Amino acid sequence: MILEALGSALLGFALAWAAAHRLPHRLPARNLVLSTGAVGAVIGSFVTHMALGAGHAPGTLVGAVAISAALLSLLIRPSRGLRRRSATA
């Protein structure tokens, strides 16, 4: 389980680094993004490990990346360039 947690933290960090590199204008500070990705993946690893049980390492890593991506998506701010108005305004 320790290796699953370490692997999921590395995967979450890599996912957060890719998001911070790709969308720097729509995300907050890089430190927050990187720590959210890693911590979200570790929490996702624990939750998925509890749900699936021992012996399902690939499934645990997939669940960790999914929860990390979900938490990172909560950090994304709307773009500043596109301002749309509703039809009634």
Work out whether the CA dihedral 38, 44, 45, 46 comes out positive or negative: positive
pLDDT digit string, tens, across residues 17-76: 999 999 999 999 999 999 999 999 999 999 999 999 888 999 999 999 999 999 999 999
Half-sphere exposure of 26 (CA within 13 A, CB side): 15
Helices (H) and strands (E) in the chain, counts: 3, 0
pLDDT at 85 over 70: no
